[in-house]
Structure 1
Amino acid sequence: MTHHLAIGLGEILWDVLPDSRMLGGAPANFAYHVNALGGAGIPVSRVGDDELGREALSVLATSGLNIDSVSVDPVHPTGTVDARIDASGVATYTFPDDVAWDFITLDADALNLAARANAVCFGTLAQRSGVSRSAIHDFLRAAPGALKICDINLRQNFYSRAIITCSLELADVLKINDDELAILIDMYSLPRDEKEALQALMNRHWLKLCVLTRGDRGSLVISPDAASDLPGTPVKVTDTIGAGDSFTAALALAYLDGWDLDALHRRAAEVAAYVCTQPGAMPKVPDELRIK
């Protein structure tokens, strides 16, 4: 595999569980899994000048990630999220606002990184503030050669039709789960059938891929001329934190490497199923799951 450079653009935060805390945030998780799967994953984000921020940078660096594009905010605290895990291992989240990743800024090095990127993964959560939204849009526009993946990541009330529409216009790939697709079906008056709804979004926004994850019901990946539908993989779920991000990372690398739709979908599903069996968003990934 070519050593693809893939950027996780957006929030870095601590998932605070009842008895522990783990570093996460979808873009940071994506960057970690790109690295773990054989690419070069780099997070672009912001942490506070506080104990949690220093610990976050240490964890990322120890995990092998380049942290040069994670800036430090002298005023706003490092982001945290209250994560609750239900009996099935499914996580729900509550996000405080006015934290460091709401104030992402780009310097010349970050814009140079954008120009070299092969893929950029971003979502709507970090666009809840105007400052970070502008930075994300500037980064995407500075990355004309990159595959732009919108992992839509609808949380609480931190999204709007305008933010979603603009994100889809900037994207090449949409990654969405079944709960989020239901929101878009209502928002845009899309067909109720999942595949037809994805096809409508693909046609409207000239997308190269639409990716739907459905928990234990498996996943669906469509391109303009093909579709791949996989059932869920039965595994003993520890938690689902980071599983979707690992799916996106595997799919991005395999797509960039020219894999066909079924092959890239199957590998992404295998990686995500493995991550579900492990605690936290950033487990060690077995070598056999790397994108070779």
Structure 2
Amino acid sequence: MNTICFGEILWDVLPNEKVPGGAPMNVCYHLNRLGQSAAIISKIGNDENGSDLMKFLDSSQVNTKLVQVDEEHQTGIVIATQKGNEMEYDIVQPVAWDFIDSPKALLDEVSRADYFVCGSLAARHGHSRKSLYALLEAAKTKVVDINLRPPHYERSTLEYLLQQADILKLNNHELAMISASYSTENDFAKQVQLLSEKFAISTIIVTKGEAGAALLFQNKFYYHDGFKVKVADTIGSGDAFLAGFLSKHIHNESPETALEFACKIGAFVASQKGACPKYEIEQVEKAP
């Protein structure tokens, strides 16, 4: 495996259906769709929702050998409500993925992977947070996807994750919120540079929704205006974006190529229902 993703796997419960989700699971799903070898570390409950998630992942050829089972807590669910083009989330707690363990065998798996992807949400509970910190110590290249979902984060946790990050991904709202903790600077580029310098992060990706994205890579900025699509929903589009970027970065393709492809797959997934639509890479390449 060249990539291991850590954190929440769950069901997004929409008004008329439930769809599989969780940012690290989404990233893992899309990496696999894009031809990468990726596995997910998480925990499900011993219940129907957990069984259904495993069936979905197995049918999607996602490596599930690192998924744990909790006999006490239910599989994660999120109640999702659409407000215009954005989604609002009620993230139920505590659930199984709040109690991910980190045995030595798992540390060994992570130490062998080239990339380790995690987010801030999975660190909301002390048990999974302790495991995450141990795994980060074992990881090579650490990809941190900031996912600020009030009240599911603490400043001390965010700072630790920022200190660990080799590649940081966040959206423009999260950038403004985090940079405001350290500076009154309102200029976008200076906010990005502030985080880069303060936490020694050479690669920072900022998504801007319909306005595309920006990338700071080795002290140089790259921008893309994004792709215009008819939005079905935005669930998972940022996760697909990150997977798209990594799929190119892993093969040392240019920053411009990685950013453009990330924007393309993010827009493509926003044009589909749910976070994990079925597709082939050729469909993304041909998309507008």
TM bin (shorter chain): over 0.9
User: How many positions carry a matched residue from both structures?
Assistant: 284
Aligned twin of 1:239: 233
Q: Secondary structure at the match of 2:181?
A: helix
Partners of 1:202 and 1:101 in 2: CA distance: 30
Matches of 1:285 and 1:184 in 2, distance apart? Answer: 35
Tell me which residue corresponds to 1:196.
Answer: 190
Partner of 1:213: 207
Partner deviation per Cα, 1:96-136 (whole Å, 9 max, x = no partner): 11110100002343222201211111111110111100111
1:162 maps to 2:149: no
What SS does the corresponding residue of 1:59 show, helix, strand or coil? helix
Give the counterpart of 1:130 among 120, 126, 133. Answer: 126
Q: Name the CA distance, whole Å, in 1 between partners of 2:165 and 2:184.
A: 19
- Which of residues 37, 41, 44 is equivalent to 2:38? 41
- Judged with a 3 Å threshold, the aligned counterparts in structure 2 of structure 1 residues 224 and 287 are, in CA distance, closer, same or farther, namely closer
- How does the TM-score come out when normalised to structure 2? 0.95
Q: Distance in 2 between matches of 1:130 and 1:45?
A: 15
Instruction: Give how far 1:190 is off.
Output: 5.1
Instruction: Give the share of equivalent positions with the same residue, in percent.
Output: 36
Gaps of 5+ in 1: none
2:105 alignment counterpart: 109
Instruction: Kindly report which structure 2 residues correspond to 1:1-292, keeping only aligned pairs within 5 A, or say none.
Output: 5-88=2-85, 90-143=86-139, 145=140, 147-189=141-183, 191-288=185-282, 289=284
Structure 1 position 186, deviation (Å): 2.0
Code of the residue aligned with 1:165 in structure 2: it is: E
SS of match in other structure, 2:29: helix
Give the secondary-structure state (helix, strand or coil) at the position aligned to 1:248.
helix
- Following superposition, the deviation at residue 285 of structure 1 comes to 3.0
Structure 1: 4+ residue segments shifted above 6 A: none
One-letter identity of the residue aligned with 2:95: V
Q: Which amino acid aligns with 2:182?
A: Y
What is the TM-score when the length of structure 1 is the normalising length? 0.94
Residues 244-277 of structure 1 show CA distances to partners (whole Å, capped at 9, x for unaligned) of 1111111112112111111110011111111111
Q: Partners in 1 of 2:90 and 2:120 — Cα distance?
A: 15
